[in-house]
Amino acid sequence: MKSNLKFVSGDEAVALGVRLARPHVISAYPITPQTIVVERLADFVEDGSLKAEYMHVESEHSAMAAAMGVSSVGARAFTATSSQGLLHMAECVHYASGARFPIVMMNANRSIAVPWSIYGDQRDSLGLLDSGWIQVYVEDAQEALDMMIQAYKVAEHPEVMTPFMVNLDGFVLTHTYEPVEVPDQKQVDDFLPMYQSTNKMSMDEPKSLCFSTSPADNQEFKYMQHKAMEGSVDIIREVDAEFGQVFGRYYHGMTESYRCEDAEAVLMTLGSVTGTVRTVVDMLRAEGHKVGVFKIRYMRPFPQDEVKELGKLGSRVGVLEKNISFGNEGTVFTNVNSVFSTLEKRVESKNYVGGLGGRDITKEDIRGIFMDLLSKEPFTERVEFIGMGCDTNE
């Protein structure tokens, strides 16, 4: 296969992936740090390398509403957002999944005001876990590009018909340059045929979409939506495996486990911090410590089988996340423990919250977490904020 390496940012990798997926219409509204995605796509439409309609909408709410309009006639839609923008469109995010429109959206994970911050954490998308969208969190620019292609294939699968959100950590991923292999268009076209659906308004067979139901029917629609999302786990695994065969890059489906088999301490991660944790794992392994990292790729559907298998290994498990559900704990932690609770043997787990508002999570922070997990001392607290600076009592 001819190599086509490009040195691009995460945002640019997303744009390249979207171009390969050939959406019919892009509805775009800018927000830092997503902007470069919609800028590059505008360039591609202008220079003719992407045959799509580029729609300037006046808000994120309209970006998703327009994307739903596009999908409602059976065309392929793309949009991208971040943070405040994702929350502004929240009504439409739920709407799209209920309507079973397989829209693909890139989200640049960014903190939520107040305090205002343009920097990354994952509170935006995790706040919409219950919106009925498939959510994947990628680790680097290559995975970002590849997932744009996989996303459409999974979302548009007749048994799935569920919108798909690809999450990139703001700045750490969106604005970091990396060498990226750009797949061949012909191969992508074969892998991802044009969208075909009966869930659309058509002139041959007119339909009323996005209707209302009485209490006599509503729950059945929600049940079907739930079953489709659950069933998407198999499709996600199949599509990833097929992608690996065609393009030579395989992402291990729902999760990726690294040196966990014999580990005494495992740290679970989401997104770009995984790379740093992997480096620390190698360093600690070289020092003789039995540690591993478990990357959660999909938050919805949740990787129940994989997390359960991890829980059976008997390691102490830390969950590192850039998120907090105020007054409780990190939501990733809640989801993980919910699966652990189904196991006969209790898994000792602890939540590490860090990186909020773009704060760096350093190798030292991660080393500290592993030492805490390896200490075998009973945990003194369930949730620990790592990398704290000033005294917050003042």
Partner 1 sequence: MTRMSDFNIRPKDLTDQEYFYGHKACAGCGATIAVRLALKVLGERTYSVLPANCMSAVSFIYPQMAFTTNAIISPFASTGAMLSGVAAGARALGIKDFQTVGFAGDGGTADIGFQALSGAIDRGDDIIYICYDNEAYMNTGIQKSGLTPYGTKTTTSPAGENLPGAVTHKKNMFEIVAAHGIAYAATASIGYPNDFLRKLNKAKSVRGPVYLHILASCPTGWGSKTELSVQLAKDAVDSGLWYLAEYENDEFKLNRNPKEFIPVEEYLYKQGRFKHLKEEDISVIIEHRDKKWEKMRKTWL
Residues in 322-351 that interact with partner 1 by CB under 8 A? none
| Per CB under 8 A, 198 contacts partner 1 | no
Nearer to partner 1, 24 or 259 (CB): 24
Strand ordering across the sheet containing 349-353 = 255-258, 291-296, 265-269, 316-321, 349-353, 383-385
Distance CA 52, CA 26 (A): 7
Nearer to partner 1, 66 or 347 (CB): 66
Nearer to partner 1, 195 or 247 (CB): 195
| Per CB under 8 A, 27 contacts partner 1 | yes
Close Cβ partners of 393 (under 8 Å, ≥ 6 residues apart): none
Q: Kindly determine how many residues on this chain lie close enough to bind partner 1 according to the rule CB under 8 A.
A: 41
CB of 55 to partner 1, least distance (A): 6
CB of 54 to partner 1, least distance (A): 9
| Per CB under 8 A, 138 contacts partner 1 | no
Q: Judge contact between 315 and 266, C-beta under 8 A.
A: yes
**Phi and psi at residue 82, to the nearest 5°:** -170, 145
CB of 211 to partner 1, least distance (A): 4
Using CB under 8 A, pick the residue from 1, 46, 49, 53 that binds partner 1.
53
Distance CA 329, CA 336 (A): 12
The stretch among 35-43, 48-56, 235-243, 257-265 that binds partner 1 (CB under 8 A) is 48-56
Nearer to partner 1, 100 or 289 (CB): 100
Please give the single-letter amino acid code of residue 123.
Answer: R
Return the structure tokens found at 327.
């007054």
Strand ordering across the sheet containing 77-82 = 53-56, 25-28, 77-82, 104-109, 164-169, 134-137, 298-300
Distance CA 59, CA 348 (A): 45
- Asked if the bond preceding 301 is cis, omega within 30° of 0, the reply is yes
Residues 215-244, one symbol each (x = binds partner 1 by CB under 8 A, - = not), give: --x---------------------------
Return the structure tokens found at 350.
């602890």
DSSP-derived letter for residue 108 is E
The stretch among 57-65, 125-133, 165-173, 261-269 that binds partner 1 (CB under 8 A) is 57-65
Residues in the chain: 394
| Cα dihedral 133, 138, 144, 149 sign | negative
CB of 167 to partner 1, least distance (A): 23
Distance CA 299, CA 5 (A): 30
Nearer to partner 1, 84 or 122 (CB): 84
The stretch among 175-183, 200-208, 267-275, 343-351 that binds partner 1 (CB under 8 A) is 200-208
Nearer to partner 1, 75 or 80 (CB): 75
Return the H-helix or E-strand segment holding 274: helix 273-286
Residues in 65-104 that interact with partner 1 by CB under 8 A? 65-75, 77, 91-92, 95
Nearer to partner 1, 96 or 347 (CB): 96
**Residues contributing to the site for partner 1 (CB under 8 A):** 24-25, 27, 52-53, 55-59, 61-63, 65-75, 77, 91-92, 95, 201-203, 206-214, 217
